[in-house]
Structure 1
Amino acid sequence: MTKQISDNLHANDNVDNTEEQAIFSGLPGSVFFQAVEHAPIAISITDLSANIIYSNQTFSRETEYSKEDVLGKNESILSNHNTPRIVYESLWGRLTQQKPWEGVLVNRRRDGKRYLAELMVAPVLDENNKTINYLGMHRDVTELHMLQQRVQNQKEMIEKVLDAAHTSIVLMDQENRVVLDNIAYKTLATDIAPIEPGALFLSKLKEDLGADFNQQKLKPGQTIAGHEVTLEVGKGKQHRIFSCDYSIVGIGDESADGFFSNPVQSYQMLVIKDITEMRHRERLEHMNAMQLLIAEEESVYHLREALSGAMFKFQQPLNLMSAAVRMLEQSAAGAELSAEKIVEVLKEAIQIGQDTCSMLEGVVPQRKPRSFGSININEVLRNVLEFSTPRLLRNGIQVVWLPSVYVPAIKGRESRLHSMFKQLVDNAIDVIELEHPVRREIEISTRVEREEIVVSVADTGPGIQDAMITKVFEPFFSTKSNSTPSSGRGMGLTLAQEVVTEHCGTVSIDPKYRDGCRILVHLPIDVQEG
């Protein structure tokens, strides 16, 4: 057998003048036999009918068939009989052309277990270039296929999950070239085209964070999370808000050069979530909550106003009676019985009245103290205008809104400031509603002067006479001849003065303004609670 295989392997020994002949002519055939016998790959040699005439040791280990089991048997004993016919047609077609064939077949071991065989079959030619045998080599690639399929499955699952996400995800190299993205990112790219979203959001992050954004210092696994970016998107320049997460992803080098050194390449990952709708809902919820707070404060305020007014009015006759008692007591005929009885009755009435006043004072609702927080005055005024929009539209009043581009945040009580500015706007609406001026306009502006924020609320009503400028801040004083649902009882500017005083500010009427009435509110930027 050794000699037969050696002769087949050296079928071209008679060919002269070749480099291969010069190299191998000195090697005995046993060397070739031992090399094949102990090769770490399953090798078999067949005749032209695919009957096995030789198999090596690895063949026996892979298939669990001994040499005696397979000698003279057809290679088909390894077949699982479910390989498509076209595969065998391709195999024999190549061999007929004296060309090798490579492919994967489903084989079956002696115990019936199936495995994937990566097979290469080549014709063995004699000196006349005639096929005399077939050489087959195969190895078990079941585990390799399983791993490859698992990787493919995981890749497809990850892609499906990424594409199903409503969050835009993109992976970019250090040159900001897109390596991997999902459908949501592609949709965003269509909206922002022709600018690449990844590069745009990176530039926004660098612009907003400045020195805090340094991708060179970020290590794989570290993240800049939840940074909000606002963009004008689409043909209509729609205002949209995005939340961005930025991180560095380390990926191993796939090239042969990196096999031992295993260098890590850094990629940039952006996770972009459109939170416009969420922020809109949050704003609506905040507005609704603020409206409830303002309504509660206004209700308590009007109740306090009514009770305070009642006590004020009730105190007047008590004062008159007290004066009458003093006059009677001081009269020359104070000892007369009738005067004593009158004094006694009046004192009793005064006592009852004072008890009633004390009782009314006891039921006056107290204002709930609220803690100071960071407040944007422009935001407060925008909210107030939104609250007042129905009345403004109903009365055909035009609003001129002139906010300062930059207004620093102040410390204050948000609901109290909302109530105060709403009262000022309501006063302006009331005046225009009652007086019917030709020009129906309210102008609201903000500006920063030194360490203060100045808010101006101006209307085009008849204005306030110079003699009344200080008097209008007195309790229960009103310039309105008629009452309206929101006009109150002359406590509007008193409330404004109370709230402004809480915030260490001032409120005044501009005496130089002649187109109506202009209220100026000065609020210091640096205010300490209490």
Structure 2
Amino acid sequence: MTQGKPSRSSDAPAQPAAGAELLPEVFRQMAEHAPIAISITDLKANILYANRAFSTTTGYALAEVIGKNESMLSNGTTPRLVYQALWSRLAQKKPWSGVLVNRRKDASLYLAELTVAPVFDEHGETLYYLGMHRDTSDLHELEQRVSNQRLMIEAVVGAAPAAMVVLDRDNRVVLSNPSFARLARELTEGGSGDSLVALVRENLALPFAALEGEGRAFSGKEIPLDLGGHAPRWLSCHGMAIHVEDERAQVFFAPGAERYLLLTLNDISELRQKQQDSRLNALKALMAEEELLDGMRETFNGAIHRLQGPVNLISAALRMLERRLGEQAGNDPVLSAMREASIAGQEALDSLSGAMPVRRAEAKMPVNVNQLIREVISLCTDELLAQGIVVDWQPALRLPWVMGAESRLRSVIKQLVMNAIEAVAHSQVSRRELFISTRVENQQVVRLEIVDSGPGIPAELALKVFEPFFSTKPPHAAGHGMGLAMVQEIVSEHAGTVHIDTSYRDGCRVVVELPFSAAG
């Protein structure tokens, strides 16, 4: 061994020097052991050479294919145009790639993904054709199965009545079905899917945040949407996270998952409407009972009010007479009669006060003012139709809830609506309209306006009409004058205000303002 030179085992294969040509045997062994079927044919497609993979793929031994034409593998089902394209490319001295339906020796069929390329001599003339193909039947079957499943899923999702949408990490719409697009057009001004997602997200703040942050699914969350008029919408919402593998090549060995959100929205408005109709029928009976109770209370209050005056006069006269008679007051028969009358009057007042029906205490809860107005309009439909009054109902699209006693607030609205109907009914105006609107005022209160086209209320009476037993109705139609007094009492219980807008000249405008609910 020469000093300074690396030793090499005598039996180690010699490594070719860089740039040296490989021996033909190396190429032959490379083709022979290649995992893809390789064949070399003459210019008429007669097989001159085939490797081992060719035999494995086709089922023919090498001795059975040498000298035979490649057409022996044809099943006859490949369209003629495919072969025409193949030979056309080869005639242009260009390679061709495509798929053929081939037949094995056992008559079984397979898909051959084939590439045929011309082999040239030193003058550029074609000497042979080199063919390479592999069995792609399993791959085709898998691809077709995936494609068919995709088509079936798309058909099912597309025909589903439920609205479905997939969102990316920025809550942008990635995929959606026709039902979602239709719902977006119906519920949002622009009709965009992003607007509908924002609307759902706003109404499902906590569940949506948990879904975004932790991937926590939610199901059956119902949200009401007030769109104005008489047709509120109800959606039952379901949400879940979907984890999808990253498709980029650079993360092949370090795959990561991308999280998407799937929302499913079911329109349950019809079901809720049926429930609402049933509730409305029960509400009519309840309100009839409450109105009977209020009528009795009003009658008792009227009687007490009328009796209180004479009792007070008798008491005042009694005190005056006692002072005038002095020591002789004890023997005076008139004074004794007045004492008995005063005592009897006070006992009658106490008896009436004790017999007055007591309204049951009602717990306060978050109340949707728009819903109460809609219920009252439905309850007053017969009266409105009888008087030929047209209702223009313009609710706020999204109105915060008010914390209050639901039946008490409903009574306020009904009293104001009935007052408006009566005002229009007893006037001679040709324009018979009732305008009702709600909106948010100063980001602090819910403002309700009820406007009628009646004769209106003079400015000097704008405060007096809220006094008990005062009425602007004609004497023959006058009630006990407790309606607006009751309205003011209930509104005050809810820390709100009610007033008549004296600047309005085309009728009467009553304004009620109620503070927001913390639950809204």
Q: What amino acid does structure 2 have at the position aligned with 1:375?
A: V
- Alpha-carbon distance in 1 for matches of 2:253, 2:28: 35
Q: Which residue of 1 aligns with 2:61?
A: 66
Listed as ranges, the matches of 1:132-151 within 5 Å are 132-151=127-146
Identify which of 415, 418, 423 aligns with 1:426: 418
Q: Deviations over 1:43-74 (max 9, x none)?
A: 12223332223221111111111122222222
Check whether the contact 1:170–1:180 (CA below 8 A) recurs between aligned residues. yes
Check whether the contact 1:435–1:461 (CA below 8 A) recurs between aligned residues. no
Name the SS for the 1:254 alignment partner. coil
Q: What amino acid does structure 2 have at the position aligned with 1:254?
A: E
Name the SS for the 1:262 alignment partner. coil
Listed as ranges, the matches of 1:84-99 within 5 Å are 84-99=79-94
Q: Which residue of 2 aligns with 1:411?
A: 404
- Alpha-carbon distance in 1 for matches of 2:189, 2:289: 54
Q: Which residue of 2 aligns with 1:56?
A: 51
Check whether the contact 1:225–1:246 (CA below 8 A) recurs between aligned residues. no
Check whether the contact 1:198–1:270 (CA below 8 A) recurs between aligned residues. no
Closer/same/farther in 2, CA of residues 247 and 510 from structure 1, 3 Å limit: closer
Cα offset for 1:181? 4.8
Q: Deviations over 1:81-128 (max 9, x none)?
A: 111112122222223333322211111111111110111222333344
Check whether the contact 2:187–2:196 (CA below 8 A) recurs between aligned residues. no
Closer/same/farther in 2, CA of residues 426 and 507 from structure 1, 3 Å limit: farther
Q: Which residue of 2 aligns with 1:345?
A: none
Cα offset for 1:511? 13
Q: Deviations over 1:338-381 (max 9, x none)?
A: xxxxxxxxxxxxxxxxxxxxxxx9xxx99999876432345424
Q: What amino acid does structure 2 have at the position aligned with 1:263?
A: G
- Alpha-carbon distance in 2 for matches of 1:378, 1:270: 31
Q: Which residue of 1 aligns with 2:383?
A: 391
Are 2:260 and 1:261 equivalent residues in the alignment? no
- Alpha-carbon distance in 1 for matches of 2:445, 2:128: 101
Q: Deviations over 1:383-419 (max 9, x none)?
A: 42453355346547798999999775123243x6435
Q: Which residue of 2 aligns with 1:376?
A: 368
- Alpha-carbon distance in 2 for matches of 1:244, 1:102: 51
Q: Deviations over 1:203-235 (max 9, x none)?
A: 6677778899769963567579968697999xx
- Alpha-carbon distance in 2 for matches of 1:119, 1:508: 86
- Alpha-carbon distance in 2 for matches of 1:271, 1:217: 12
Check whether the contact 2:242–2:259 (CA below 8 A) recurs between aligned residues. yes
Are 2:121 and 1:126 equivalent residues in the alignment? yes
Q: Which residue of 2 aligns with 1:117?
A: 112
Cα offset for 1:258? 1.8
Name the SS for the 2:85 alignment partner. helix
Q: Percent identity?
A: 36
Are 2:67 and 1:77 equivalent residues in the alignment? no
Cα offset for 1:260? 0.8
Name the SS for the 1:43 alignment partner. strand
Closer/same/farther in 2, CA of residues 495 and 292 from structure 1, 3 Å limit: farther
Q: Which residue of 2 aligns with 1:17?
A: none
Identify which of 298, 322, 327 aligns with 2:288: 298
Listed as ranges, the matches of 1:327-476 within 5 Å are 373-377=365-369, 379-381=371-373, 383-385=375-377, 387-388=379-380, 390-392=382-384, 394-395=386-387, 409-414=402-407, 417-419=409-411, 421-423=413-415, 425-426=417-418, 429-430=421-422, 433=425, 460=456, 470=468
Name the SS for the 2:213 alignment partner. coil
Name the SS for the 1:50 alignment partner. coil
- Alpha-carbon distance in 2 for matches of 1:92, 1:467: 102
Q: Which residue of 1 aligns with 2:315?
A: none
Q: What amino acid does structure 1 have at the position aligned with 2:253?
A: F
Identify which of 15, 18, 32 aligns with 1:37: 32
* Greater displacement, 387-396 / 135-144: 387-396
Q: Which residue of 1 aligns with 2:98?
A: 103
Closer/same/farther in 2, CA of residues 211 and 223 from structure 1, 3 Å limit: closer
Listed as ranges, the matches of 1:3-22 within 5 Å are none
Q: Deviations over 1:154-212 (max 9, x none)?
A: 33334434443466655566678765455566678889999793554566677778899
Q: What amino acid does structure 2 have at the position aligned with 1:113?
A: S
Listed as ranges, the matches of 1:229-244 within 5 Å are none
- Alpha-carbon distance in 2 for matches of 1:117, 1:512: 87
Q: Deviations over 1:453-500 (max 9, x none)?
A: 999989847989989955579xxxx987557xxx9xx68849985996
Task: State the superposition RMSD in angstroms.
Answer: 6.3
Name the SS for the 1:121 alignment partner. strand
Q: Which residue of 1 aligns with 2:323?
A: none
Check whether the contact 1:240–1:274 (CA below 8 A) recurs between aligned residues. no
- Alpha-carbon distance in 2 for matches of 1:408, 1:392: 27
Q: Which residue of 2 aligns with 1:197?
A: 192
- Alpha-carbon distance in 2 for matches of 1:175, 1:525: 32
Q: Which residue of 2 aligns with 1:322?
A: none
Check whether the contact 1:423–1:496 (CA below 8 A) recurs between aligned residues. no
Name the SS for the 2:75 alignment partner. coil
* Greater displacement, 516-525 / 50-59: 516-525
Q: What amino acid does structure 2 have at the position aligned with 1:95?
A: L
Q: What amino acid does structure 2 have at the position aligned with 1:380?
A: L
Unaligned runs of 5+ in 2: 1-16, 304-354
Name the SS for the 2:45 alignment partner. coil
Closer/same/farther in 2, CA of residues 292 and 58 from structure 1, 3 Å limit: same
Cα offset for 1:78? 1.4
- Alpha-carbon distance in 2 for matches of 1:467, 1:263: 72
Q: What amino acid does structure 2 have at the position aligned with 1:150?
A: R
- Alpha-carbon distance in 2 for matches of 1:424, 1:91: 87
Check whether the contact 1:80–1:108 (CA below 8 A) recurs between aligned residues. yes
Unaligned runs of 5+ in 1: 1-20, 314-360
